[in-house]
Amino acid sequence: MAMLFERAQAIEAWAEDYFIDPNGVVYSQLDKATVKPPTNAFFEPEAKWKIVPGFTPAEFWSYENCGMTTGAYMQAMVCRYEVERDPAALQRARRSFQALKHIYGIGKQLEEGFFPKIYGGRFSDQTSTDQVLYAVLALDRYAPHADAQERREIAGMIAHMIQFWVKRGYRYKYFHIADMLWPLARFPSLLLLAYKHSGDAQFKVEYERLLAAGVNRHPGEERLRRKRNGEIKPSDYEQEQQAWLIGALADAVTMDVMELDYLLRNDPQNTWAATWRQSIAQMWREACLALAPNGKVYLQVLVDMDTGVARPPEPRATANISGATSGWSSMVARAGVQAAHHLTEQQAIIGEAQRVLHALDIHDLTYFDQPERFSPMQQYTTRFFSGDAMANWLWAYWQGRCQGCWRKL
């Protein structure tokens, strides 16, 4: 594993040189050509196109997932500190804590506890539970190494961030959707975290209520089981292909395994524990279907209805189907490290996580690949280095070291 250790050092040095903004926030995307945040010229001829009113494409893409990237990088640095006891790793984890505080502070322009996406480094009214989950779990992981003042701040931040969602009935806007009910399966782990850090019984009561309602009887982001069981009818395209189309598996595994891992580590005697383990196994199997031979992850795969064999789809001009690859397979590797702790096939899972980490070098830490699989107006998405891919690679490697999945040879 010395080779992976050397790569981890190189990726961290690269991240420190290019991915950290002046406030310690980890950029979501960098322009591959310049290894800097993209400028508006990067998006020509689409430069006038805006996803969020009031923000340029450059402002959007530089910070879209910055809560996630900063949280993942913070996790990596805490894990590295726990393995090596290097003060530099702890200093970088502390800088990441200050960056999450910075984002949290910007959110107060709406209200206490709102954790925004800070496009262009400034306030927006956009958020997601993805950002909150990464940030809160990173704060929790850092807390044992924090000083007394930081621990008080962490407790307050976590409680307010979760209360923001509880009091809204788990509803909030999402881009063009004015009042979206967010996946309820995401909230038991967040409620348990809020109870742990605040001691406020309301969070434990709500945690028990959601469990009793069966909100995470199955993984919230799973793709394949519901199609095979007939809960989701096949589309015309799936009928034509005689295969199930599933996608966004790096995202799905990222969220669900994080959540279920936390529940199993912190409430292992719960009557739902066996179901949670089965869910982790289901998510891991789905993720492995999407792993490409080169260690990347396919954005979508077709799973044959008869044989269960997976293949990437051919791109279609009339639908958002590309089958391209992404460096987000590092998220799958990190999820594998977390999943292995709970499943009997531990060595096979660790082996697959290692395969992915060995396959990805700095130039592979991309957002999307294969521009020929995208329409001309979408090909710019293949010209990014990804903060998610980078930070999750480091998190996967160092958490693997922490858990004893592998060692430095």
Q: What is the pLDDT of residue 202?
A: 98
Contact 227, 244 (CB under 8 A): yes
What would you measure as the largest C-alpha separation in the chain, in angstroms? 61
Q: What is the pLDDT of residue 375?
A: 85
Mean pLDDT in runs of 10 for the chain (409 residues)?
88 98 98 96 70 92 97 98 98 98 98 98 97 98 98 98 98 95 95 98 98 89 86 94 92 89 97 95 93 96 96 83 94 97 96 97 97 89 97 98 88
Q: What is the pLDDT of residue 2?
A: 59
For the record, the structure tokens of 276 come out as 């949670």
* Beta-strand runs (E) in 214-294: 243-247
Q: How far apart are CA 350 and CA 383, in angstroms?
A: 30
Question: Which pTM value belongs to this model?
Answer: 0.97
| Residue 337: strand, helix, or coil | helix
Q: 302 pairs with which residues across the strands?
A: 245, 311
Q: How far apart are CA 87 and CA 72, in angstroms?
A: 19
- The domains of the chain, with CATH numbers, are 2-403 (1.50.10.10)
Q: What is the pLDDT of residue 46?
A: 55
Q: How far apart are CA 359 and CA 27, in angstroms?
A: 23
Q: What is the pLDDT of residue 48?
A: 55
What are φ and ψ of residue 328, in 5° steps?
Answer: -70, 0
Q: What is the pLDDT of residue 49?
A: 63
Classify each residue of 188-217 as buried b or exposed e, where b means 16 or more C-beta atoms within 10 Å of its C-beta: bbbbbbbbbbbeeeebeebbeebbeeebbe
Closest CA to 391 of 4, 10, 11: 11
